[in-house]
Amino acid sequence: MIHKTAIISPVAKIGKNVSVGPYSIVYDNTIIGDNTVIDGFCEIGYPTQLANGNPLVIGDNSRIRSHSVFYEGSSFKENLVTGHRVTVRENTHAGLNMQIGTLSDFQGDCIIGDFVRTHSNVHIGKHSKVGDYVWIFPYVVLTNDPHPPSETMLGVTIKEYAVIATMAVLLPGITVNEHALVGAHTLVNRDVPANMVVAGNPGEVICETSSIKIKNKDVSAYPWPSHFHRGYPEYVIDEWKNKFGEVSDD
Amino acid sequence: MIHKTAIISPVAKIGKNVSVGPYSIVYDNTIIGDNTVIDGFCEIGYPTQLANGNPLVIGDNSRIRSHSVFYEGSSFKENLVTGHRVTVRENTHAGLNMQIGTLSDFQGDCIIGDFVRTHSNVHIGKHSKVGDYVWIFPYVVLTNDPHPPSETMLGVTIKEYAVIATMAVLLPGITVNEHALVGAHTLVNRDVPANMVVAGNPGEVICETSSIKIKNKDVSAYPWPSHFHRGYPEYVIDEWKNKFGEVSDD
Amino acid sequence: MIHKTAIISPVAKIGKNVSVGPYSIVYDNTIIGDNTVIDGFCEIGYPTQLANGNPLVIGDNSRIRSHSVFYEGSSFKENLVTGHRVTVRENTHAGLNMQIGTLSDFQGDCIIGDFVRTHSNVHIGKHSKVGDYVWIFPYVVLTNDPHPPSETMLGVTIKEYAVIATMAVLLPGITVNEHALVGAHTLVNRDVPANMVVAGNPGEVICETSSIKIKNKDVSAYPWPSHFHRGYPEYVIDEWKNKFGEVSDD
């Protein structure tokens, strides 16, 4: 299961039934959970002094696709899944079932909840806080410096179930509240209220999320867990049915 | 021509005079045409169940630059050329002479015509349809979900000769018609008429493409095949001369 | 210091105490300065006819992170530092202490001053000119074609100490003058005066940079060298103290 060309540190802690693909490197300060699959051309546990000696921890049953780089000092609970060429720097801690899209770039020092999903090419600036069940779509950037360049770091906060659509930019220190929707190509320059939609440059509140209907149906598309369940475990879907009701999603 | 460090499946079908660079991997379900050059660090025919057993087909005389990943289930006719770190997922079918820029990410299930060119870092969402002779510039995103996240997939359609400039976002289900020009940093939220220019956030029609002159000349820059011919074969340029006339491009 | 799996051309000129990581390739026409560290999976001196036989030159004491590709025909003075998966094409010449962020893509034929820093995923189009001490933040694109596609190339010019914030697009031929600040998500469609802030789509001058205060202080954040010094050498900081005064940056 470990390809003969993979370079594995003898002091890395590797679980049972782990697979490492061709030409990948696993560095010293790495803990990999059971049944995890790492593709080729990856670097796992890339060394940095900024990790203060803390290991990279990859939870059980994870899948890291090719050409990805994970620094030491970060941790992911079970069932991490990534696309290709993902970068995760040090001191970022994520919960269960994280999904990270191809080419995404996590800058480090972030706190990320359970069941968070990013699509391709998402940039998570240092000191971001992302709540459970958040979705982030391609080319979104979470910034952190209010007057660049400086030493002031004001991370972005995104709360539970919020959705950030393609190519939105979130300015430093912004909070996007629960169940909010940031429209595509929006510049978010102030906090977004819960359950509201913002769009434009600069972003303005344009409606409640509940006013957006599922295509060709007379049913609200939000809260989205009422109809979108793909890839979530049964216990989460059951909880959602109680909280949000249920609508079929064709 | 096959580097000694390349890992080539014995069941992959590889044409005559094919070159594969150092540390590249060619998987089982792959057909590579004659005279094709694949750089180092590539993965060709990356396995996925979503391909339903269909192979990756790379046409004759193609050139795939380093660190690129192509999934099984997609196909490219002759003369494909790519930049570095390109990703193409399953079930995308492209015509002749495709050019794909560095870091571009094709999500799969797309139909792409002949002589399409993308510059760097273009994101083609699932279910996109791109016509012949289309140009797409850096950081453009073609989206597909009208109320994310959902199972509704409304791909974008771009018709022949249309040009999408840098960092435009095309919302789900949009059609950009023939010879239209989408300006840089535009959010396209409705169909774009043929031969028109849209710009802004949200995009508005601002003029006809014919009103844009070639720099320092009193000649229209559009339709662009009247003056831009680099890299197209003679039979295409001859057809264009008949259709669009000819102006020199300095 | 040269990993046994690295592929090093016997005619490449490699300085003293150079390190090359696993699976990296150093091509023929390459000059690497003393004490430089190159990570794994890199291609250094990637061949191209467009370089006219000129070598890639990497200055002393540089650090190139993994999966990066540098073409022949470009040059960097001492102390280059890059992130991962950087691409630099031919005929780009940069000064001292350049920093290039992860996933950035320099298209070639550019002139870049001393102490220039780009963050992640910056796209520098052909024929750009970037002055000393410029900062460019994530997902910024410098374009060059006024009526794409064409053979007309009007590069962007960015002058000393200017700052370009996240996801700005600079249209062809634009000049951003000294100490200007381009706000996040701005479309810059005309020249930006020195010491001014532009924002919006399209960008408008909104204030002088001096009116932006450091967070929680009654002190201007610009010119930024009055308070931000991280990573610059003493002789630069001393010069800045004389020119711009000094304020502490917490």
Which of A67, A139, A57 has the alpha carbon at shortest distance from A98?
Answer: A57
Share of chain B above pLDDT 70, in %: 99
Interface of C with A in 119-138 (CB under 8 A): 120-121, 135, 137-138
pLDDT band, very low/low/confident/very high, at B248 (cuts 50, 70, 90): confident
Please give the residue of chain B at the shortest CA–CA distance from A214: B147
Average pLDDT taken over every residue of chain B: 97
CB burial of B58-67 (b: ≥16 within 10 Å; e: otherwise) equals bbbbbbbbbb
The pLDDT of residue A247 is 79
Nearest Cα of chain B lies from the Cα of C86 at a distance, in angstroms, of 10
pLDDT band, very low/low/confident/very high, at C23 (cuts 50, 70, 90): very high
**Using CA atoms, how far apart are residues C139 and A104, in angstroms rounded to an integer?**
12
Nearest to C148 among B67, B83, B135 (CB): B135
Which of C79, C89, C82, C15 has the alpha carbon at shortest distance from C54?
Answer: C89
> For B208-244, what is each residue's pLDDT tens digit?
999 999 999 999 999 999 999 999 999 999 999 999 9
B4 interfaces chain C, CB cutoff of 8 Å: no
Nearest to A141 among C139, C222, C230 (CB): C139
- Give chain B positions within 8 Å (CB) of C201: 185, 200-201
Check: CB of residue C213 under 8 Å from CB of residue C219: yes
Spans of chain A, pLDDT less than 70: 249-250
How far from chain centre, in Å, is Cα B52? Answer: 23
**Using CA atoms, how far apart are residues B107 and B164, in angstroms rounded to an integer?**
18
DSSP state of C44: E
**Residue carrying structure tokens 């995103």:** B141
- Give chain C positions within 8 Å (CB) of B166: 141, 143, 169
Kindly tell me if the per-residue pLDDT of C250 is higher than 60.
Answer: no
φ, ψ for residue A165, nearest 5 deg? -85, 170
Nearest Cα of chain B lies from the Cα of C201 at a distance, in angstroms, of 6
Which chains touch C (3+ CB pairs under 8 A)? A, B
**Using CA atoms, how far apart are residues C232 and A207, in angstroms rounded to an integer?**
47
> For B162-183, what is each residue's pLDDT tens digit?
999 999 999 999 999 999 999 9
SS3 B86: coil
Q: What is the 3-state secondary structure (H, E, C) of chain A?
A: CECCCCEECCCCEECCCCEECCCCEECCCEEECCCCEECCCCEEEECCHHHCCCCEEECCCCEECCCCEEECCCEECCCCEECCCCEECCCCEECCCCEECCCCEECCCCEECCCCEECCCCEECCCCEECCCCEECCCCEECCCCCCCCCCCCCCEECCCCEECCCCEECCCCEECCCCEECCCCEECCCECCCEEEECCCCEEEEEHHHCECCCCCCECCCHHHCCCCCCCHHHHHHHHHHHCCCCCC
Identify the sign of the CA torsion A118, A120, A125, A126: positive
- Give chain B positions within 8 Å (CB) of C152: 214-215, 249-250
- Give chain B positions within 8 Å (CB) of A184: 143, 169, 171, 187
How far from chain centre, in Å, is Cα A169? Answer: 16
Nearest to A105 among C120, C163, C230 (CB): C120
The answer, yes or no, to whether the previous bond of A223 is cis (omega within 30 of 0) is yes
**Using CA atoms, how far apart are residues B126 and B65, in angstroms rounded to an integer?**
23
The pLDDT of residue C247 is 79
Check: CB of residue A177 under 8 Å from CB of residue A170: no
- Give chain C positions within 8 Å (CB) of B214: 147, 150, 152
**Residue carrying structure tokens 């790379």:** B58
Check: CB of residue B197 under 8 Å from CB of residue B162: no
**Using CA atoms, how far apart are residues B53 and B56, in angstroms rounded to an integer?**
10
Alpha helix ranges (H) inside B193-244:
234-244
Contact criterion met (CB < 8 Å) for B184 and C143: yes
Nearest to C105 among B67, B103, B212 (CB): B103
For A112, other C-beta atoms within 10 Å of its C-beta total 23
Vertex B164: Cα angle to B163 and B170 (nearest 5):
135
**Using CA atoms, how far apart are residues C58 and A106, in angstroms rounded to an integer?**
28
**Using CA atoms, how far apart are residues A224 and B172, in angstroms rounded to an integer?**
17
A152 interfaces chain C, CB cutoff of 8 Å: yes
Which chains touch A (3+ CB pairs under 8 A)? B, C
The pLDDT of residue C249 is 63
Q: What is the 3-state secondary structure (H, E, C) of B3-70?
A: CCCCEECCCCEECCCCEECCCCEECCCEEECCCCEECCCCEEEECCHHHCCCCEEECCCCEECCCCEE
> For C165-207, what is each residue's pLDDT tens digit?
999 999 999 999 999 999 999 999 999 999 999 999 999 999 9
How far from chain centre, in Å, is Cα B228? Answer: 18
Nearest Cα of chain B lies from the Cα of A44 at a distance, in angstroms, of 17
Run of H or E residues at C236: helix C234-244
How far from chain centre, in Å, is Cα C21? Answer: 23
Choose, out of B63, B167, B211, the residue to mutate when testing the contact with C (most C CBs < 10 Å). B167
Nearest to B228 among C46, C67, C151 (CB): C151
> For B1-49, what is each residue's pLDDT tens digit?
999 999 999 999 999 999 999 999 999 999 999 999 999 999 999 999 9
How far from chain centre, in Å, is Cα B159? Answer: 13
**pTM score above 0.95:** yes
pLDDT band, very low/low/confident/very high, at C248 (cuts 50, 70, 90): confident
Choose, out of C121, C185, C222, C250, the residue to mutate when testing the contact with A (most A CBs < 10 Å). C185
CB burial of A148-182 (b: ≥16 within 10 Å; e: otherwise) equals bbbebebbbbbbbbbbbbbbbbbbbbbbbbbbbbb
For C164, other C-beta atoms within 10 Å of its C-beta total 31
For C239, other C-beta atoms within 10 Å of its C-beta total 12
Contact criterion met (CB < 8 Å) for A105 and C117: no
Which of B53, B10, B43 has the alpha carbon at shortest distance from B28?
Answer: B10
The pLDDT of residue B249 is 64
